[in-house]
Amino acid sequence: MSQKADFSQCRSFSFPVQIYYEDTDFSGVVYHANFIKYFERAREQVIGADTLKQLWHQQGLGFAVYRCDMLCHDGVEFAEVVEVRTRFIIESKYRTLWQQEIWRPGGQKAAVSAYIEMVCMNQNRQLSPMTPRMLASLEALQLSV
């Protein structure tokens, strides 16, 4: 995965997340693994739960995280409401690359940033190409404003 990928021309999606006490560690700061959950929820919002469910049940295809590079720049605390900003690039018919960041309202920089590489797999857990329809849907999402 190349972190030098250019996401500047990609549409940005926004997903709000309320930080609950259960999300935090003993110090009241979000436990790092929970950021991966927030990123997953945001990606699901971009593609759509119904689309993902239909893809799995009708086409036998789904997405899996192949690689995740995450940097925690600043702690996010209990009771905050943050925004997950998401952009993605279709790298091939097998792979998408996602740039995701967690921002505080009015923040000057991301509190957490990640580059996540997703691959398309079949129900036998083998790499499989996305359907032309899925590729077209993702391309449309990239371009829509």
pLDDT of residue 73: 96
Q: Which of 119, 142, 144 is nearest to 66 (CA)?
A: 119
- Decide if 15 contacts 37 (C-beta within 8 A): no
Q: What contacts 50, CB < 8 A, 6 or more positions away?
A: none
Whole-number pLDDT of residue 49: 96
**Could you report the per-residue pLDDT of 18-31, keeping only the tens digit for each?**
999 999 999 999 99
Q: Which two tokens stand for residue 142?
A: 């990239």
Residue whose tokens read 């259960």: 22
* Spatial distance between the Cα atoms of 46 and 66, rounded to a whole number of angstroms: 19
Q: Report pLDDT digits (tens) over 31-89.
A: 999 999 999 999 999 999 999 999 999 999 999 999 999 999 999 999 999 999 999 99
**Which pLDDT score is estimated for 8?**
86
Hunting for tokens 């996010």 — which residue is that?
76
Domains contained in the chain, CATH given: 13-143 (3.10.129.10)
* Stated pTM of the model: 0.92
